[in-house]
Amino acid sequence: MRKTKIICTLGPATEKTDVIRQLIAHGANVFRLNMSHASADWVRTIVPRIRQLADQLKRTVGILVDTQGPAIRTGPVKAPLELKKGDTLEFTVRGAKPTKKNSVSVNYDKFIDDIDTGDAVLVDNGLIKLKVVEKKKNRAICRVLTPAKLGSRRHINLPGVHISLPPLTKKDIADVTLGATLGVDFVALSFVRKPGDLDELRDLLTRKKSKACVVAKIEDQAAVESIEDIIKTADIVMVARGDLGIEVPMEELPIIQRRIVKNCIRLGKPVIVATHLLESMITNRIPTRAEITDVANAVFEQADSIMLSGETSVGHYPVECVDVLNRVAARIERSGGAGYAEDAILEDARQKTVAAAVVLANSLPRAKLMVFTRHGRMPRNTSNLRPHRATIFAFTPSEEVRRQLSICWGVFPIRIEFSDDPNATIETAQKLLRDQKMTAAGDNLVIVSDVRAREALIDCVQLRTVK
């Protein structure tokens, strides 16, 4: 079984029932709904569609709502501005009227307050590079460093600049509320800058009675500087290489990715590598060899999940993209991984119990791990230690926990009812695996569960052999 999970962004290319069915059948584990483009009505339609298809195909599929976040954008222009190197471009805020030929408004009122003379301003995904040369009350004058054409509503990045925007906009709050109402499994916060941003999202989810996992998207320098604290606060971390690749020098991006993945595994948090994995496949049926190598590196680093964005939301070959990730991940996993789990921190007795089970499974041929959980913690701990060969079968009575485990490396979640007798629950799970031909005679089952000791239940590791 493939251990690295696949996340697909849904959009116009993949919203139809038959296409979603194909994506699930070909290996999609989680579907991302990008609220930068999705409407509330579309989300209300697509969530039950995903749930129904997952049930029909008897697959565990999670749903991730990705907030737009506090994006800074230019305003509309009547016609694209032709910018040459050395030209000046004026940015205006708070309704100030233009005083230059090349002038554009900005949707963020404190834009002028936050920037300083000499700061870099990157527009349209970094294609347009500018330098601030003058600022006044409601306007800033910038020198154009790269020739380009500026259209309407283009995204602005401010590398190294502290932004005063709140972590959740009114739109984000409405979108998170909608996701909570529909029972989505994960909510991603865009442009996380500090751990407190995640606390605000978690508080909102709690007020909306949602237990969705909080995903921290690492997209700017401020987040990189606070990465360890952010990892500790988040449930899951996403290396969002699109904006991050604009905010940091390009040669630093692979190093930052590796450092984040390594720290997430060390600190016991699932990690997603996202953006531009198979960008050329938006229009081409086969990927570039460089893209294959990029995917292979993320799999070798043992990221929990790898994510497709435009490739599946608007691309021409969404199902083929999933097939490529499936093939590459399965092959690279057989060749071994980076071994970052050797530095995983084990802080409590339960983590150490799981570690003993993983050591045992690693030492046995044809080993499989069976983990019984009500809240998902034990399977996540097991996943974080990256067992060398054994699949992790996670049994839970909770449908919510089952779906939340869909994002974790090497975990195959299964919902079963738990008996008051732990041994009876284990017997039921063993029979299910045997009936579905997921185990065979001679397999070694390393079991992490509780056992009854008089009136108490205690954690236990067992070894059984399939007869």
Predicted pLDDT at 343: 97
Q: Which residues contact 346 (CB under 8 A, 6 or more apart)?
A: 352, 355
The verdict on 173 and 314 lying in the same domain is yes
Q: Do 428 and 324 reside in the same domain of the chain? A: no
Indicate if 210 and 238 belong to the same structural domain.
yes
The answer to whether position 338 is within a domain reads no
275 is catalytic: yes
Residue closest to 7 by CA, chosen among 48, 79, 65: 65
Is residue 406 scored above 80 in pLDDT? yes
**Residue 450 — very low, low, confident or very high, per pLDDT cuts 50/70/90?**
confident
**Residues 123 and 187 both lie in one domain:** no
**Stretch 251-276: mean pLDDT:** 98
pLDDT digits 0-9 by tens, 19-55 = 999 999 999 999 999 999 999 999 999 999 999 999 9
pLDDT higher than threshold 90 for residue 378: yes
Instruction: Taking residues 82-88, report their average pLDDT.
Output: 97
Q: Which of these is catalytic: 2, 3, 5, 32?
A: 32
Q: Which stretch of 69-78, 195-204, 388-397 has the lowest confidence by average pLDDT? A: 69-78
Would you list the DSSP string of 401-453? HHHHGGGSTTEEEEE-PPPSSHHHHHHHHHHHHHHTTSS-TT-EEEEEEEEEE
Residue with token string 């984000």: 172
- Domain shared by 123 and 215, yes or no: no
- The rounded distance, in Å, linking the Cα atoms of 433 and 204 is 39
pLDDT, average across residues 294-310 = 98
- By the 8 A CB rule, do 48 and 350 touch? no
Q: Do 229 and 372 belong to one domain?
A: no
Residue 411, domain extent = 346-465
Residue 147 lies in a domain: yes
Residue 74 falls within a domain, yes or no?
no
What are the phi and psi torsion angles at 81 (to 5°)? -85, 125
User: Is the domain of 15 the same as that of 143?
Assistant: no
Query: What pTM was estimated for this model as a whole?
Result: 0.95
Q: What is the CATH number of the domain that holds 203?
A: 3.20.20.60
Residue 312 is a catalytic residue: no
Average pLDDT over residues 70-82: 93
Q: What percent of the chain has pLDDT over 90?
A: 95
Confidence check: pLDDT of 453 > 70: no
32 as an active site residue: the answer is yes
DSSP string spanning 317-356? -HHHHHHHHHHHHHHHHHT----GGGG----SHHHHHHHH
One of 135, 217, 380, 386 is an active-site residue; which one? 217
Let me know whether 366 and 279 are in one domain.
Answer: no
| pLDDT tens-digit series, residues 139-163 | 999 999 999 999 999 999 999 898 8
CA-CA distance, 237 to 271, in Å (whole number)? 5
> What average pLDDT does the segment 109-130 reach?
95
Give the Cα separation of 242 and 126 in Å (integer): 10
pLDDT tens-digit series, residues 330-356: 999 999 999 999 999 999 999 999 999
Q: What CATH number does residue 405 fall under?
A: 3.40.1380.20
Mean pLDDT of 424-446: 96
Residue 99 bears catalytic tag: no
φ, ψ of residue 80 in degrees (nearest 5):
-55, 140
Q: Are 175 and 274 found together in one domain? A: yes
How many structural domains compose the chain? 3
Residues 64 and 85 in one domain: no
Of 49, 59, 73, 129, which is the active-site residue? 73
Place of tokens 């990730």: 325
Other C-beta atoms lying within 10 Å of the C-beta of residue 358: 26
- pLDDT single digits (tens) 205-220: 999 999 999 999 999 9
Neighbour-count burial of 4, counting CB atoms closer than 10 A to its CB (0-12 exposed, 13-18 middle, 19+ buried): buried
Mean pLDDT of 115-142: 95
| H/E run at residue 189 | strand 186-189
Domain boundary residue among 135, 157, 179?
Answer: 157
Tokens read off for 413? 């979640």
Q: What is the pLDDT of residue 14?
A: 98
Last residue of a domain, one of 303, 333, 363: 333
DSSP-derived letter for residue 301 is T
Residue among 74, 275, 373, 391 flagged as catalytic? 275
Q: Is the pLDDT of residue 221 over 70?
A: yes
Report how far residue 95's alpha carbon sits from residue 436's, in angstroms, rounded to the nearest whole number. 65
User: Would residue 340 count as lying in a domain?
Assistant: no
